[in-house]
Amino acid sequence: MNTRSLSFRLVAWYAGVLLSVFVLLGALTFLFLRHYLEANLLDTQARRARQIADTLVAHASRADEGALRSQIESLYSPEVNDRFIRITRADGAAVYASGPPQNGRFDPTQVPAPRGDAAGQSRKVRLADGATLMLATRAAGGADGTGYRVEVGTSADSVDNTLAQVLVMLAVGLPVAVAVAVSGGFVLVRRALEPVERITRKAEEITQHNLSERLPVVQSGDELERLSVSLNHMINRLEDAIHGSKQFVADASHELRTPLTVMRGELESLAQDAQLRRETRETLGSVLEEVERLAKIVESLFALSRLDAGEAHAEWLRFDLAELAATTAEQMSLLAEDKQVRVDCESTPGVTVEGDPARLKQVIVNLLDNAIKYTPRGGRVRLSVRRESGYAVLDVADDGIGIPAEALPHVFKRFYRVDTSRSREQGGAGLGLAIVESICTAHGAIVEVASAPGRGSRFRVRQPLAGEAAAHA
Ligand code: ADP
């Protein structure tokens, strides 16, 4: 569980507050109940003491204390009723003291002698053996004016038992209530944050290739709805900006093609003039070379902008990639022969794919062109096409100069060249592999590279076989 997540922090805070409130309420309830029960029991003892004082002791006299004793015994039976009753004369002489209660909860002999100032008081007395007594003391005068002190008490066990039960209930009920509230809160928070999860997933999926997609908008009228609407507006603006810059490249490359073609034609016819001086002819030749390079770059940019605009789908057919690879390799072998590089093609026919054959041919041409370009004389380039678990796999491998590991993640980027000066010498502007990747993406294919400097490179294109594209998607 992520302890920094919003849901965890919300639930932890909620659980903490709930637990503190419950503990505080539980403690207050417990203290109030204890006070109430003890006061109630003491009150009962006080009422009984007053009753004995008013009804029995008030009519007693020193000469007839025996009658008082038997009246108390017969009316109150303290032992049977688990009560403590003691009558003491004001001079301290004991008149009556009840025996041990039937329930044995306290030992009456342990109850301390009444203090002079205790009359009229009700208190909780802890005996030496640990028992607790709720004791009320009353002063009374006999019929002959003799002063007496009446003490009535009972064990505090009933209160303690009730309190213990309440404590058990709180100890069990409190954590259960907190656990139920926290799990409910967790479910609610997860549900409330679910739209955030969906927005995040969708935002992660959106790239420059699917900028027309939008984040889900939760019609909740809250901050979340505002956030998703604002983010969608931001994606609108991004889409417009990216579309604008793509359109600019498309328009610029399109506009440049015609003047470049005219320039090339003019320069070629100029170069054919037999009266030209040798230096002028050489200068013209190198200008022509540069114009051709420029024309290639403009063609590549134009091709990329058309791919960006999704035009690759216009000419889709079903065709055999192996056959296309074999004819392309044959056409390119002339170029390879010039460089004394051998091109071997191993492909078994019947690798049917769906796509634009001209574009996929461009992929093979670009990869073979690079392989031949970056392989020294006497080297070997291997092209193969095969079927592999629902995919057409096209490999172009060479034993040329290879690509350093740090450059591998960048080779498909536009205008990226590993060795700028050498690449330029060989006519590359760093757009060949970018075009390969764009065509592959448009065909639902993936292009990967593996390479080791000095040992060679292998470019692999994996494209779903015809009829398998939907399954792979
Ligand atoms: P370029 O037109 O410059 O060749 P690419 O986009 O085709 O541009 O390739 C980008 C860079 O990747 C090249 O500049 C080159 O350094 C490197 N590269 C491409 N293919 C190979 C290969 N087969 N062997 C070695 N390096 C390669």
Cα(314) to ligand 1 centroid in Å equals 29
Return the residue whose CA atom lies nearest to atom 17 of ligand 1. Answer: 418
Q: Does the Cβ of 304 fall within 6 Å of ligand 1?
A: no
Q: Could you report the per-residue pLDDT of 349-393, keeping only the tens digit for each? A: 899 999 999 999 999 999 999 999 999 999 999 999 999 989 999
Domain at 223-307, CATH class: mainly alpha
Over 90: is that where the pLDDT of 453 sits? yes
Predicted local distance difference test score (pLDDT) of residue 291: 93
Q: Does the Cβ of 379 fall within 6 Å of ligand 1?
A: no
Helical axes 223-271 vs 278-308, angle rounded to 10°: 150
Which CATH topology does 315-472 take?
Answer: Heat Shock Protein 90 (3.30.565)
Cα(357) to ligand 1 centroid in Å equals 23
Q: CA angle 212-215-216, nearest 5°?
A: 125
The preferred substitution site among 299, 417, 426 for testing ligand 1, maximizing ligand atoms within 8 Å of CB, is: 417
Q: Does the Cβ of 432 fall within 6 Å of ligand 1?
A: yes
Lowest mean pLDDT among 5-19, 239-253, 375-389: 5-19
In the three-class reduction of DSSP (H, G, I as helix; E, B as strand; rest coil), residue 384 is classed as strand
Structure tokens at 144: 């002959």
* Cβ proximity of 332 and 369 under 8 Å: yes
Q: Could you report the per-residue pLDDT of 161-197, keeping only the tens digit for each? A: 999 999 999 999 999 998 998 899 889 888 888 888 9
Cα(88) to ligand 1 centroid in Å equals 117
Closest CA to 411 of 433, 426, 442, 435: 433
Gap between the Cα atoms of 345 and 329, Å rounded: 7
Q: Given pLDDT bands bounded at 50, 70 and 90, which one contains residue 115?
A: confident
Predicted local distance difference test score (pLDDT) of residue 347: 87
Cα(417) to ligand 1 centroid in Å equals 6
Identify the DSSP state of 377: T
Q: Given pLDDT bands bounded at 50, 70 and 90, which one contains residue 312?
A: low
What is the pLDDT averaged over residues 423-448?
86
What is the pLDDT averaged over residues 198-222?
89
Amino acid at 56: L
Structure tokens at 280: 């002028």
What atom in ligand 1 is closest to the CA of residue 371?
23
Q: Does the Cβ of 371 fall within 6 Å of ligand 1?
A: yes
Q: Does the Cβ of 367 fall within 6 Å of ligand 1?
A: no
What is the pLDDT averaged over residues 237-260?
92
Cα(370) to ligand 1 centroid in Å equals 6
Secondary-structure breakdown of the chain: helix, strand, coil percentages, each rounded to the nearest 5: 60, 15, 25
Q: Taking the complete model, does pTM exceed 0.85, yes or no?
A: no
- Mean pLDDT rounded to a whole number for the chain: 90
Q: Could you report the per-residue pLDDT of 79-102, keeping only the tens digit for each? A: 999 999 999 998 889 999 999 999
Predicted local distance difference test score (pLDDT) of residue 425: 60
Which phi and psi angles does 29 have, rounded to 5°?
A: -60, -45
Q: Does the Cβ of 52 fall within 6 Å of ligand 1?
A: no
* Cβ proximity of 372 and 341 under 8 Å: yes
Token pair 């049977």: residue = 80
CATH of 6-162, one of 3.30.565.10, 3.30.450.20, 3.40.50.300, 3.30.43.10: 3.30.450.20
Q: Could you report the per-residue pLDDT of 26-57, keeping only the tens digit for each? A: 999 999 999 999 999 999 999 999 999 999 99
DSSP-assigned letters across all residues of 138-206? EEEE-TTS-EEEEEEEEETHHHHHHHHHHHHHHHHHHHHHHHHHHHHHHHHHHHHHHHHHHHHHHHHH-
In terms of phi and psi (left: phi > 0; alpha: psi -120 to 50; beta: otherwise), the region of 242 is alpha
Return the residue whose CA atom lies nearest to atom 16 of ligand 1. Answer: 418
Predicted local distance difference test score (pLDDT) of residue 421: 65
* Cβ proximity of 211 and 242 under 8 Å: yes
* Cβ proximity of 215 and 202 under 8 Å: yes
Q: Does the Cβ of 228 fall within 6 Å of ligand 1?
A: no
Q: Which residues of 18-28 are buried (b: 16+ CB within 10 A; e: fewer)?
A: bbeebeeebee
CA distances from 73 to 33, 135, 410 (A): 33, 19, 107
Rg of the Cα atoms in the chain: 51
Structure tokens at 227: 């956030």
- Listed by start position, the domains of the chain span 6-162, 223-307, 315-472
Cα(457) to ligand 1 centroid in Å equals 10
Gap between the Cα atoms of 17 and 146, Å rounded: 63
Same fold, 6-162 and 223-307: no
What is the enclosing helix (H) or strand (E) of 456?
Answer: strand 456-464
What is the pLDDT averaged over residues 313-325?
88
Over 90: is that where the pLDDT of 8 sits? no
Return the residue whose CA atom lies nearest to atom 13 of ligand 1. Answer: 417
Identify the DSSP state of 43: H
Over 90: is that where the pLDDT of 424 sits? no
In Å, how far from its chain's centre is CA 208? Answer: 25
Beta-bridge partner residues of 377: none
In the three-class reduction of DSSP (H, G, I as helix; E, B as strand; rest coil), residue 322 is classed as helix
* Cβ proximity of 439 and 404 under 8 Å: no
Cα(337) to ligand 1 centroid in Å equals 20
Q: Does the Cβ of 400 fall within 6 Å of ligand 1?
A: yes
What is the pLDDT averaged over residues 262-291?
91
Token pair 């440049």: residue = 256
Q: Does the Cβ of 382 fall within 6 Å of ligand 1?
A: no
Predicted local distance difference test score (pLDDT) of residue 69: 92
Q: Could you report the per-residue pLDDT of 331-355, keeping only the tens digit for each? A: 999 889 989 999 999 988 899 999 9
Over 70: is that where the pLDDT of 117 sits? no
Long-range contacts of 323-330, Cβ-Cβ distance < 8 Å, separation of 24 or more: 323/347, 323/349, 324/357, 324/360, 324/361, 324/364, 325/364, 325/383, 325/384, 325/385, 325/394, 328/361, 328/364, 328/365, 328/368, 329/364, 329/368, 329/383
